[in-house]
């Protein structure tokens, strides 16, 4: 695997290989087994947006594998002052062994890969969040035993998370339903692709989407970069929430996931959040293990 730019680039087999390696690395970490797989390698972490999980899990992940990580805030890089991505990519390729980037435009991530000569890992764009969904799939498999055949229901904004969940869920054999207000649907091309499998639906009716779900998923109503729309979105998304009424129509053993950070009483009630905290924080932990697997696949 050269890069991780988006999940659409990976086959079901490649995703399975990442998840299997992630399980192994998790087991080994819990049992104190140390690695030197990435000894001497340095990963640059470029952030144009805030982060807790992505930053810490990539830094710790590189350390665990014997390599090192360099935190690079876009605010302090010349890229933040307009230096072209083409030049940044070629310069950083001379110093680093790989780059993880969190930014706004997906094209910036694709351009880094195009003009640079080192592996590029997408740590979230406005379009997608592949690292998160690899951790989500790992968590689903851990709790349910299998991924295939489960119904994944996403409630809320059709955003970067939704786009990656559709691709990851469909590729891994799940049925995916999305409930979002009209005008806030996920990417049209991805919905068309997913619909062709006969395992995808999108509706503005939360209860229709959540019926018989095995996994319920939600994310913030206003993503990073949409702060100015936050108040308007609170009105538009009211009701697009995982709460006890929604849980009542899902399967009794349905699990609840949230990529975090969460806004209690907006997209999820505190009650549902706390009663599924074990799943949600396993999911957060699995960012570390799934990304270590991605790092091994791309950098080793």
Nearest-approach distance from CB 283 to ligand NVA, in angstroms = 12
- The footprint of ligand NVA on this chain (CB under 6 A) covers a number of residues equal to 9
289 is catalytic: no
- Our measurement of the distance from residue 244's CA atom to the centroid of its chain's CA atoms, rounded to an integer in Å, reads 25
- The two beta strands, 151-155 and 200-203, are unpaired
The smaller minimum CB distance to ligand CP, of residues 26 and 53, is found at 53
Report how far Cα 210 is from the mean position of its chain's Cα atoms: 21
What SS3 state is found at 175? strand
Shortest CB 60 distance to ligand CP, Å? 13
Catalytic residue among 287, 289, 291, 298: 287
User: Is 291 a binder of ligand NVA (CB under 6 A)?
Assistant: no
| C-alpha distance from residue 288 to each of 11, 80, 134, 152, 268 (Å) | 22, 28, 11, 23, 24
- Beta-sheet strands, E only, within the chain: 42-47, 68-73, 98-102, 120-122, 151-155, 175-179, 200-203, 215-218, 255-258
Print the binding letters for residues 229-268 with ligand CP: x by CB under 6 A, - otherwise. ------------------------------xx--------
Contact flag: residue 48 with ligand NVA (CB under 6 A): no
The one among 101, 134, 161, 294 contacting ligand NVA by CB under 6 A: 161
> Is residue 164 part of the contact set for ligand CP (CB under 6 A)?
no
Instruction: List C-alpha distances in Å: 187 to 11, 161, 294.
Output: 20, 11, 25
Respond yes or no: is residue 199 known to be catalytic. no
Q: Residue 177 forms beta bridges with which residues? A: 153, 201
With contacts defined by CB under 6 A, name the span among 11-19, 22-30, 217-225, 229-237 that binds ligand NVA: 217-225
Shorter beta-carbon distance to ligand NVA: residue 136 or 219: 219
Annotated catalytic residue, options 259, 276, 291, 298: 259
| 3-state percent helix, strand, coil for the chain, nearest multiple of 5 | 50, 15, 35
Query: Does residue 152 sit in helix, strand or coil?
Result: strand
Query: Which residue numbers are catalytic?
Result: 102, 129, 132, 219, 259, 287
Q: List residues binding ligand CP (CB under 6 A).
A: 51-54, 124, 132, 259-260
Q: List residues binding ligand NVA (CB under 6 A).
A: 124, 159-161, 219-220, 223-224, 259
């Amino acid at each position: 695997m050269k890069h991780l730019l988006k999940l659409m680039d990976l086959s079901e087999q490649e995703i399975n290989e990442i998840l299997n390696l992630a399980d192994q690395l998790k087991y080994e970490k819990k049992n104190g087994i140390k690695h030197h797989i990435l000894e001497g390698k340095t990963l640059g972490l470029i952030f144009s947006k805030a982060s807790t999980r992505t930053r810490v899990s990539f830094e710790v992940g590189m350390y665990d594998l014997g390599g090192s990580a360099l935190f690079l805030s876009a605010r302090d890089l010349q890229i933040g002052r307009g230096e072209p991505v083409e030049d940044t990519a070629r310069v950083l390729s001379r110093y680093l062994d790989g780059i993880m980037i969190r930014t706004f435009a997906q094209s910036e991530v694709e351009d880094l890969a195009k003009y640079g000569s080192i592996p590029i890992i997408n740590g979230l764009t406005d379009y997608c969040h592949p690292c998160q969904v690899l951790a989500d799939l790992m968590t689903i498999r851990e709790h349910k035993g299998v991924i295939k055949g489960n119904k994944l229901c996403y409630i809320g904004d059709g955003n970067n998370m939704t786009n990656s969940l559709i691709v990851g869920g469909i590729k891994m054999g799940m049925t995916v339903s999305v409930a979002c207000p009209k005008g806030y649907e996920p990417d049209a091309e991805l919905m068309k692709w997913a619909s062709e499998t006969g395992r995808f639906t999108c509706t503005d009716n939360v209860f229709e989407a959540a019926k018989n779900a095995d996994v319920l998923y939600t994310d913030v109503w206003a993503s990073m970069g949409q702060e100015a729309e936050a108040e308007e979105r609170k009105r538009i998304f009211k009701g697009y929430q995982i709460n006890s009424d929604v849980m009542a129509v899902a399967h009794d053993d349905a699990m609840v996931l949230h990529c975090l950070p969460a806004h209690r009483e907006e997209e999820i009630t505190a009650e549902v959040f706390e009663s599924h905290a074990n799943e949600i924080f396993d999911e957060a932990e699995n960012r570390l293990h799934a990304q270590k697997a991605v790092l091994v696949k791309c950098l080793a």
